[in-house]
Structure formats: structure tokens, C-alpha cells
Amino acid sequence: MEPLRVLVTGAAGQIGYSLLNSISRGDVFGPNQPLILHLLDIQPMMGVLEGVVMELVDCAFPLIRDVIATADEVTAFKDIDAAFLVGSMPRREGMERKDLLAANVKIFKSQGKALDQHAKKTVKVLVVGNPANTNAFICSKYAPSIPKENFTAMTRLDQNRAQAQIASRLKVSADKVKNVIIWGNHSSTQFPDASHAVVSINGTLTKVPDVVDGEYLKSDFITCVQKRGAAVIAARKLSSAMSAAKAAGDHMRDWWHGTPEGTFVSMGVFSDGSYDAPKDVIYSFPVQIGSDRNWKIVEGLSINDFAKEKMAITGKELEEERQDAVSVCQD
């Protein structure tokens, strides 16, 4: 089997550190899939990255055929099959998203150009670095030769958080909860929606709204998921690294291998206007993925007025972010 070339940017950082372990073990692309790891970071982090490479070697992962560690985008993006774009300026306590936006869109403009010129045209790109949705939009904008549907943003962390909150409330394991949706932006405007979710309790499949208090699902559940990242930063003084790495692996694994029958997952993808979302932004929808690695927005879900209002708010934010990002890139 030919090795896959997998890029992780920001590879010397905390998310990269956790993510590389998961990828290298075969959790993402499969237990028999050989890998060539491309690790990109900025020049001042090369010493740290060298230590990460030593650890990868010392783990003696049977799937790893080679590790390429570099600060050069041409080398990093050359012929890659999949990309985890993690590297970005991290959000720190008290920082606003607009501060992040200005600093990070320029990084993703440059990486979009590198993808366009050097990566395989079939490359699957997952943007993790925040603001993830708008960074993914910019990345695609500057990689016009790669199909738009090959660019996604991570809202799987929010989905995992939402599933875990419901599971905790019902005293079941998180894998018993399915089809929780994250609509919109990976930000505090996102709309975590459990109205279509199901849970398996003692072997019986039940709709979550039938067993969880409706007022909770409209209030504390939503705010808990929206503000979870900030809560982790306040407690840890650092952002959510372990859970973000796990979510990135989950996202790419499902994209690579497909979603199980009857289940859907949340991914930030290019909006076609489904569910009245604004077009031409990266908006998180429920998607199903076939064995051909093509995602499809789940159609026909009933949306009540409460949900429509929440979905419109997060859509408006994404339109504003897109406008700000495009103007920054033109400076």
C-alpha cells in the first residue's frame, strides 16, 4: 500500500503533539495505512519540532515511513494527500475573535497559495486554527485549482462537547448519543442543536428531546457548549489541546472512511444556502459522508423558529468575518 502524505501545521504546538500520536497509531487513516508525515512550523519552533520528531522515532510506530520536518511551505505542502491546518496564533484569555482574525487570515492566505501550487488536487484540508471557518474560506479562496468541497473547518470539538453534556446528563457513555448538530460558526454564536439527536438507553433508541428537559436544551446546554473553550482557557490558562486533537482526528477519520448508516456529523463546509444559511461561507452543517469521501449536507430536517433565529445570528457573523478577512487580505 502506498504511503499517504499527511501534513500537520503548527506541529510543535500542543494540539499537534496530541494529534501526531493519534495519526501515527492508525486511529485516523486506518491501522494498515502507511504514512509519511509532513510537519510544518515557524523557524523559531524548529528546535522544539526536532524534539517532537525524536519522540515520533522513539515511539517506533510501524506505520511511519518518513517524517519531514520543515519551516518551508513548499516542502511541507508538496504532494500531500491530507492536511491538518492547526498552526495559527492561539486565542489567549481576554482576546477577541477579531484580534485573531487579522493575525491569522494572512497565514491561511499563504497556505492556500502553497496548497494551490504544491499539494495534490485531491487533498482533503481540515482547518483547526481559529477562526477556523473563515480561515478555511480564505485558504480555499487562494487555492482555486482545488475543489471547494475539499476545504472544511472543524466543529467536531463542539459536537463532541455537546454529545458529552447530554451523555453526562443521562448517565450514559458519550458514544450512545448521536446526531447532535452544530450549526454555523465555531464561535460563541454557534448553535448546538439536540432536537434531532438520539440516545441509546439500555439498548433502546430514544429521541433526546423526549428524555432531556426542553428548557435545558434551549438554555444552559447551548451556553455551556458555546463557552466551553473559554472555560477551558480560564481553568488551564491554555486552550483546549487534547480535546481539539481528538476532534480533528474524528473529523478526518469520518471524512476518510465515511459515516455509519443513519448517523451524521457536523463539519464546517461551503454553504449552498441550505437551511437559509448564507451562501459562500464555511458554515457548519450536519453531513453524511460516503465511501467515496464526498460529504453531503443532510436535507429535510425540520427547523423551528427558535432554531432559525439562532442559525441566522451565526450566519450573519460568518458574513461579517468573511468581509473583514477579505479586506485584510487585500491590504
Mean pLDDT to the nearest integer, 261-278: 97
Grid cell locating 244: 481539539
Q: Which residues are annotated as a binding site for substrate?
A: 91, 97, 130, 161
Grid cell locating 316: 450573519
Predicted local confidence at residue 92, as pLDDT: 66
Mean pLDDT to the nearest integer, 9-27: 97
Q: Which residue has the cell 457513555?
A: 173
Predicted local confidence at residue 100, as pLDDT: 75
CA distance 13 to 49: 9
Per the prediction, the chain carries an average pLDDT of 95
**Would you say 275 and 300 are in contact if contact means Cβ atoms under 8 Å apart?**
no
**Would you say 38 and 68 are in contact if contact means Cβ atoms under 8 Å apart?**
yes
Helix (H) or strand (E) holding 165: helix 156-170
**Would you say 293 and 258 are in contact if contact means Cβ atoms under 8 Å apart?**
yes
**Would you say 106 and 329 are in contact if contact means Cβ atoms under 8 Å apart?**
yes
Following DSSP, what letter does each residue of 1-64 receive, concatenated? -PPEEEEEESTTSHHHHHHHHHHHHTTTT-TT--EEEEEE--GGGHHHHHHHHHHHHHHT-TTE
**Would you say 135 and 265 are in contact if contact means Cβ atoms under 8 Å apart?**
no
CA distance 31 to 81: 17
What tens digit of pLDDT does each residue of 231-250 get?
A: 998 999 888 999 999 999 99
Say if residue 331's pLDDT is above 90: no
- The pLDDT > 90 percentage for the chain reads 89
Q: Which residue has the cell 458555546?
A: 226
CA distance 186 to 311: 12
49 Cα distance to chain centroid: 23
Model's pTM, two decimal places? 0.95
**Would you say 129 and 104 are in contact if contact means Cβ atoms under 8 Å apart?**
yes
Nearest to 199 by CA among 217, 222, 173: 173
CA distance 331 to 329: 6
Catalytic residue selected from 38, 186, 196, 251: 186
Amino acid symbol at 250: D
Query: CB-based contacts of 213: which residues, under 8 Å, 6+ apart?
Result: none
What tens digit of pLDDT does each residue of 42-94 get?
A: 999 999 999 999 999 999 999 999 999 999 999 999 999 999 999 887 666 67
186 an active-site residue?
Answer: yes
Q: Which residues are annotated as a binding site for NAD(+)?
A: 10-16, 41, 104, 128-130
pLDDT category of residue 224 using cuts at 50, 70 and 90 = very high
